[in-house]
Amino acid sequence: MQIAKNKIVTIDYTLTDDEGVVMDSSKGGEPLAYVHGIGNIIPGLEAALEGKNPGDAFKVTIPPAEAYGERDEELVRVVSRHVFADVDDLEVGMQFQGRSGEHVHEFAVAAIDGDDVTVDRNHPLAGVTLNFDVTVVGVRDATAEELSHGHVHGPDGHGH
C-alpha cells in the first residue's frame, strides 16, 4: 500500500543536524506512527514520504521553512532573575512552560547575566536544517475513529 492522505504510516527514522550529530532516532525504541497528510509531522518530511511504500528507505534534507520554521528574534526576551525566584539552580538550557491567557508556550533559558535572564520561545529546532534517514515500516488505512481524532490508536500509536 502506498503512502497517501489519511493512511496510517509507520517509519523508522534517524534525525541528524548538519554536523552529523544525531538529534533524535526511533532506533532502540518504537517506530513512529502518524496519520499522513494532516500535518501530524513536519511538512518537508510528509512531502518526502508521499507515494512511498513499505520497505522504501531514503534520506532527505529539510530546510527550516519546511521543518520548524526560521528563528524569530522577537521571541527572545530579557527578563529579571526574580521571575525565576522559585528555581534554585537556574541554568542555561533549562526549559519552562509559560502561560499567557489560554496559550501555553515553552521557552528555554538562553543566557544568564547577573540579574538579566535571556529567555527564548523559539522552537529548539527553529532555524535548523534537518537531515532524516527514513525507512517506511508499514502503511495501512486509518479507522474512522483515528481520522476523527487526528491521531493513531493501537499498539503502534498512543493510547487514551
How far apart CA 57 and CA 108 sit, in angstroms, is 35
Query: Would you say 7 and 140 are in contact if contact means Cβ atoms under 8 Å apart?
Result: yes
Interface region with Zn ion, contact rule CB under 5 A, candidates 4-12, 37-45, 69-77, 143-151: 143-151
Closest distance between Zn ion and the C-beta of residue 148, in Å? 8
Interface region with Zn ion, contact rule CB under 5 A, candidates 10-18, 36-44, 95-103, 144-152: 144-152
Q: Does 149 bind Zn ion (CB under 5 A)?
A: yes
Minimal CB distance to Zn ion: which residue? Answer: 149
Closest distance between Zn ion and the C-beta of residue 143, in Å? 10
Closest distance between Zn ion and the C-beta of residue 153, in Å? 6
Estimate to the nearest angstrom the gap between the alpha carbon of 99 and the chain centroid: 20
57-62/7-16 β-pairing? unpaired
Q: Does 156 bind Zn ion (CB under 5 A)?
A: no
Looking at the Cβ atoms of 64 and 157, the one nearer to Zn ion is 157
Query: Would you say 9 and 36 are in contact if contact means Cβ atoms under 8 Å apart?
Result: yes
In the chain, count H helices and then E strands: 2, 9
Closest to 1 measured CA to CA, from 134, 144, 137, 133:
137
Q: Does 123 bind Zn ion (CB under 5 A)?
A: no
Q: Pick out residues in 24-53 that bind Zn ion (CB under 5 A).
A: none
Question: Which chain residues interact with Zn ion by CB under 5 A?
Answer: 149
